[in-house]
Amino acid sequence: MSLTESTTRSAATSELPSAGAYQVDPVHTHVGFAVKHFGLSRTRGEFTGVAGTVVIDEDATSSSVEVEIDATSIDTGDENRDAHVRSADFLDVETYPTLAFRSTGLEQQGEEWVLHGELTIRDTTRPVDLAVEFEGETVDPYGNARIAFTASTKVDRTDFGVSWSQTLDTGGLVVGKQVSITIDVEAIRPAGD
């Protein structure tokens, strides 16, 4: 099949992806975050080590997601800051080398989809809801089925024991508590599966 003959379907033409088990494609997946710095601008970063499975069920609400993130793969664009975030002040990657997400349910709320799940950071698990949008599906030139989603949520890092910060003279924090998380996932089901 050529690229021009691809069977791409977008969310506009298909509300849900085809059923099946898909593996997260780490090369085409982005897990990003942003947190306030000095109460002003947002410091942004990403985790580059991600693996997981997306299972799409014929009954969409029975679909599931499991993802594991290599905590050491954090990249904020500054090596010194990355080393600090890996330390016991923040993620303590020597003790807790992975972050994990496991879905507990999927539901449609009006025109929106919400993925309920459990996020584990530093061995602390808390419920979290992600707003999810299906971006479409296609069959690549090698016959593999591919699907894509975007998702977003916000968490309070102190709920997971990530509580380090310093108070400014003005009363604000060097590092904000609320972390915005944005995810772009591409997942693949090999030809023949």
**Cα distance between residue 188 and residue 22, in whole Å:** 5
Four-residue CA torsion sign, 152, 21, 46, 71: positive
Q: State in Å, rounded, how far the first CA of the chain is from the last one.
A: 17
- Domains of the chain are 19-189 (2.40.128.110)
Q: What is the dihedral of CA 145, 28, 41, 133, to 10 degrees?
A: 0
pLDDT (tens, 9 = 90+) of the chain, 193 residues, equals: 333 333 444 443 347 789 999 999 999 999 999 987 665 667 899 999 999 999 999 999 999 999 999 999 999 999 998 999 999 988 999 999 999 999 999 999 888 899 999 999 999 999 999 999 999 999 999 999 999 999 999 999 889 988 767 565 565 555 778 889 999 999 999 877 6
pLDDT at 31: 97
pLDDT of residue 110: 85
Quote the pLDDT of residue 162. 82
137: amino acid identity, one letter = E
Tokens 């099946």 found at: 20
pTM score, two decimals? 0.84
For residues 182 and 31, what is the distance between their CA atoms, to the nearest angstrom? 6
The single residue listed with the structure tokens 């499975």 is 53
Q: CB–CB of 127/103 below 8 Å?
A: no
Sequence letter at residue 62: S
- The pLDDT of residue 176: 75
Which residues neighbour 83 within 8 Å (Cβ) at sequence distance 6 or greater?
none
Tokens 């979290």 belong to which residue? 128
Residue 79's region, left for phi above 0, alpha for psi from -120 to 50, else beta, is alpha
Determine the longest span between alpha carbons in the chain, in angstroms: 63
| 3-state per-residue secondary structure call for 99-111 | EEEEEEEEEEECC
Question: What is the per-residue pLDDT for 36?
Answer: 74
